[in-house]
A and B are shown apart, each in its own frame.
Chain A
Amino acid sequence: MTMGTKTRKKRLSMKDKYKYMTRLGWETTYQDMDDVFPEDTFEGIKIHDWEAWEDPFRMTMDAYWKYQGEKDKKLYAIIDAFAQNNGQKNITDARYVSALKLFLTGVSPLEYQAHRGFAHVARQFRGDGPRVACQMQAIDELRHVQTQIHTLSHYNKYFNGFSEWSHWHDRVWYLSVPKSFFDDARSAGPFEFMIAIGFSFEYVLTNLLFVPFMSGAAYNGDMATVTFGFSAQSDEARHMTLGLQAIKFMLEQDPDNVPVVQKWIDKWTWRGYKVLGLVAMMMDYMLPESPQSWKEAWELYFEENTVALFKDLERYGIKIPDCAGTVSAEKEHLSHQIWMTFYTHNAAAPFHTWLPDEKKMDWLSEKYPNTFDKYYRPVYEQWAKLEKEGKRYYSEMLPQLCQTCQIPMLYTDCENEDPMQVVHKMTTFNGERFHFCSDHCKNIFEEEPEKYVQSWLPVHQIFQGNCGGATLPDVLKWYKVEPGVDNFDYVGSQDEKMWKEWKGEA
């Protein structure tokens, strides 16, 4: 640090300096402030003093460019080295690549949505502090989607199931789950967006998304993914801090904000958890070497870490979201039920599934002693029998979907100890019946029915004739999923054949 030659020059504290560098706005007089910031009042959140906002991190643009530039130089050096050395050969097994396919098609587009969403709220809040913090996150999220594309671009050159990720995200049935989750947040007002993404997703759930993917990558020899993941995580740490600051700010500004915020926390923790079902399946089934089970991750990152967070928020009158009990009751069933569903409907999904081998099933028995051998091993044994007969099971049916989370209605009544009975909740609105996987999804719908009747439900869209035709080949063509290339079981796939050639096993 260079000190000025003059001794009388005041040294600014970081806090003051940052304040001068960011408090740049003014009360408009030629246009009404409410016209300039038309979206930050209608949700009913009351803000009396925008200046009470505490900046989470105090990074000016020059420091941002400097540190981010340095981080990206390192990251791209590794991405380049990975490609040059054909690092994809060093992974544990080509089955692992399906986890990456799920990531690029299901998660990366959400990073893009977060980019646009934070740019939007960074424009809409009338306070300078939150606007600056939100725009830094907006540009970070652009970084994430782009580094993910660049990392996985190399895999796309060799493996199927990546090439049409953008087209798929807008169309393929299960991708409407993550897409509708983010569309939901993006179409909400700016404060709800902050609770949905900034707090519930980034703070409460992000460790459950990224850490499992990245430690999974580390366990399975995928250095490129570990690197982009960890590099992105350093931004996430800033984002988490922003999410926490945003919620505290809202709660401190007015007691009337508390019930609204609580409602959003309840809603968005549940919405986020439903999307994480994909991560649960990835952790327990798609990783050839699993560092941790879904149940363990949930216990560590939600049940332990989040308790500390909600203790901190208790003084405002905020409670742990009411869905925590349901999630906890489901934790020994979730990943198995999701994997079963994808195994069954794999003809229409552009990644591979497979039956767990003996080693994997033993690991699952160990991690899920109360459920695996009793309920799920028999399922796989039944399907293994069919496979041996050359009749690998693919359902020809289309599942009933939940109107809110859009996941097939596969969730069972674990909370009432009836774990093999699917939950069916329903309500009517505007003369039509709507179906839900849970009371949580039903409640979300009933709060804003006009919003959720608009769900673009893939199954219904197929039946309406909006997806290329009535048969599976028609729909796959419309999806741009190449039959026998992108979909079906790993066994017999091109990915498997190539992998075996690489390994000299062909």
Chain B
Amino acid sequence: MSKVFLALQAVEETRAIIEAIKEDNEHAVVEQQPAMTRVTAEGKLVVNAQTVSRYVGRDWDPQEIQLVLISLAGNVDEDYDHFTLYWEN
């Protein structure tokens, strides 16, 4: 399995997303780097809107990830309730 990765700006909005990722993706590896947080995961990484919403205390729209996104690797699948990265190999 190849690794997908997601790099987010090290800012307040990212905190909740990272918490949600950790909760829903046991295999994800989170790394702090200068000014950014890097998440890698074998095969697939899911950001669930419901989980993030719980961490931010309001309805969180997966498109809000645009505000803190730096880079990614993998195919993207998004809908109202999730933002997913995956490889098919």
Contacts and interface: CB of A to CB of B under 8 A. Distances in A.
B21 to A, nearest CB: 16
Contacts of B88: 312
Contacts of B66: 59, 67, 71, 234, 238
B78 interface: yes
A230 interface: yes
A305 interface: yes
Contacts of B76: 56-57, 241
Interface in B1-26: 2-3, 5, 7, 9
Contacts of A84: none
Contact of A312 (B2, B33, B70): B2
Nearest to A71: B67
Contact of A70 (B7, B9, B67, B70): B67
A237 B71 contact: yes
A435 to B, nearest CB: 38
Interface in B43-89: 59, 63-64, 66-76, 78-80, 87-89
B63 A15 contact: no
B36 interface: yes
A98 interface: no
Given A57-B78, A219-B34, A314 B89 contact: yes
- Counting contact residues on chain A (CB < 8 A from B), the size range is 35 or more
Contacts of B87: 308, 311-312
Contacts of A1: 59
Contacts of A311: 2, 87, 89
Interface string A201-234: 0000011001100110011000000100010011
Nearest to A311: B89
B78 A312 contact: no
B34 A215 contact: yes
Nearest to A226: B35
Contacts of A307: 2
A452 B79 CA distance: 45
Contacts of B89: 308, 311-312, 314-315
Q: Is chain A's interface secondary structure helix, strand, loop, or mixed overall? A: helix
Contacts, number: 81
Contact of A309 (B35, B70, B73, B79): B73
Contacts of B78: 14, 57-58
Contacts of A214: 35
A218 to B, nearest CB: 4
A305 B68 contact: no
A241 B73 CA distance: 8
Contact of B71 (A71, A218, A236): A236
A67 B63 contact: yes
A234 B67 contact: yes
A307 B79 CA distance: 28
A346 to B, nearest CB: 30
A230 B63 contact: no
Contact of B5 (A56, A59, A219, A305): A305
B34 A291 contact: yes
B61 to A, nearest CB: 8
Given A219-B34, A312-B88, A234 B75 contact: no
Contacts of A240: 71-73
Interface in A18-65: 56-59, 63
Nearest to A206: B71
A57 B79 CA distance: 10
Interface string A289-327: 001000000000000010111011011000000000000
Contacts of A59: 63, 66
Given A14-B78, A234-B9, A244-B75, 16 more contacts: A13-B79, A14-B79, A57-B76, A67-B63, A215-B34, A219-B34, A226-B35, A230-B9, A233-B69, A234-B66, A234-B67, A307-B2, A311-B87, A312-B2, A314-B89, A315-B89
7 contacts: A57-B76, A57-B78, A58-B78, A67-B67, A230-B9, A233-B7, A233-B71
Q: Give me the 6 closest cross-chain CB pairs, A-B, nearest first.
A: A308-B2, A234-B69, A233-B70, A218-B34, A14-B79, A311-B89
